[in-house]
Amino acid sequence: MHKKLFIQVSFLILLFLGCNNSTEKTENYQKKLQPPTDNKIYFGAFPDFGGSEDNITTKRLTDFQNLINKKIVWAYFSQNWFNGIIYPKEAIDTIHQQGVIPFVRLMPRSNEEQFIKEEKFTLDNIINGKFDNELKQWARDAKEDNIPLLIDFAVEMNGDWFSWSGYFNGADKKDGYGDPNYYDGAERYRDAYRHIIDIFDQEEATNITWFFHLDIHSTPNEEWNQPKYYYPGDEYIDWIGVSLYGAMSPKEDYWESFDEILQDKYQSILDVSSNKPFALLEFGVTDNHPQGSKPQWIEGAFETILAKKYISFNAISYWHESWEEEDNIFATIRVDSSVESLEVFREYADKSIFLSEGSFE
């Protein structure tokens, strides 16, 4: 074969193979997480990635899986914007390399303080495009990496502990932003989340499954603060998620079972959407509480989940962490806070209904 012709043919072959490989990768990863079939439930976790929720290491992930004797389907962590609105490639790669799905919490905050008003990463600034360049680059990097990601934005928005809650952004007012018939606080959150998803769609970062993540308790429990008003809409969101905690500190004068909490509040979750799968994204309870038993609380939680009472959860995710409260009192949420708690958790985690692999279509 003539040398020039040989070079041209070789180039065309390489180009063809490259296109085929690219297409195959796109087909594998540019899809949404589907709810499991056959009544199964995904089993994920926040595997103690530190107080800032972003200390992601292979050891922390594998230690947790070894602790509970089970592989988890996803590992949950925070991407704190005070460290920059930057695609967390190292964290995502660390989790992905273990065969686990990275689940990223986009946290628009300047520090870890709670119950304060945000000055920089405000909902208005997001809506008005102040961070568009960073978000576009985040989306481009996600597209380039082409790893299937789960993402939620500004979690537990109906709780007044976070600066993106309606409480700090207009609350029950209707005349300060947007639709004069809509609560300003919830509307700002809704529009900020829509703005972010629109950017990712424009950048064709289609390897993202989007979660809407509320708290079981609306604080304050007012009409304007109900989760349904914050919801970006079925056309934007793929899964509905919820946090449900029992008492989180031994000093709290409060103890309710998982079943009691869910029975009282489940309708506010169902009011968000009837068309999306539900995930219990965070749950847990403290040990050493004078009014109740953590092993019994965990057992009751799993029994309620398995019975599919009130809500049929398609996925669950335990929050494995402990921290120091005031006066040297510890919130011992970790599954191994006692031998008894760990034994109960392992017993239920071992059940075949709980899956360790996600399905994408």
CB-side neighbour CA atoms (13 Å) of 157: 36
Looking at residue 5, what is its pLDDT?
Answer: 40
- Counting every residue, how long is the chain? 361
Looking at residue 330, what is its pLDDT?
Answer: 81
State the Cα–Cα distance between residues 193 and 21, nearest whole angstrom. Answer: 33
State the Cα–Cα distance between residues 35 and 73, nearest whole angstrom. Answer: 12
DSSP secondary structure string, 304-327?
Answer: HHHHT-SS-EEEEEEEE-EEE-GG
Q: May I ask the CATH architecture of the domain 41-360? A: Alpha-Beta Barrel (3.20)
Q: Summarize pLDDT for 176-212 with one digit per residue, the tens.
A: 999 999 999 999 999 999 999 999 999 999 999 999 9
Q: What angle do CA 342, 345, 347 make, to 5 degrees?
A: 105
Q: Which of 252, 250, 240 is nearest to 215 (CA)?
A: 240
Q: Summarize pLDDT for 310-322 with one digit per residue, the tens.
A: 999 999 999 999 9
Rg (CA), the chain: 22
State the Cα–Cα distance between residues 251 and 85, nearest whole angstrom. Answer: 37
State the Cα–Cα distance between residues 216 and 158, nearest whole angstrom. Answer: 9
pLDDT surpasses 60 at 21:
no
- Give percent above pLDDT 90 in the chain: 88
SS3 58: helix
Looking at residue 20, what is its pLDDT?
Answer: 38
| DSSP H or E run through 347 | helix 339-349
Looking at residue 328, what is its pLDDT?
Answer: 75
pLDDT band at 30 (very low <50, low <70, confident <90, very high): low
State the Cα–Cα distance between residues 278 and 242, nearest whole angstrom. Answer: 8
pLDDT surpasses 90 at 360:
yes
Domain boundaries, the chain: 41-360
Judge contact between 316 and 279, C-beta under 8 A. Answer: yes
SS3 344: helix
117: alpha, beta or left, given left = phi > 0 and alpha = psi -120 to 50? beta
CB-side neighbour CA atoms (13 Å) of 75: 31
Any residues with CB less than 8 A from the CB of 344 and at least 6 apart, and which? 295, 298, 299, 302
- Give percent above pLDDT 70 in the chain: 91
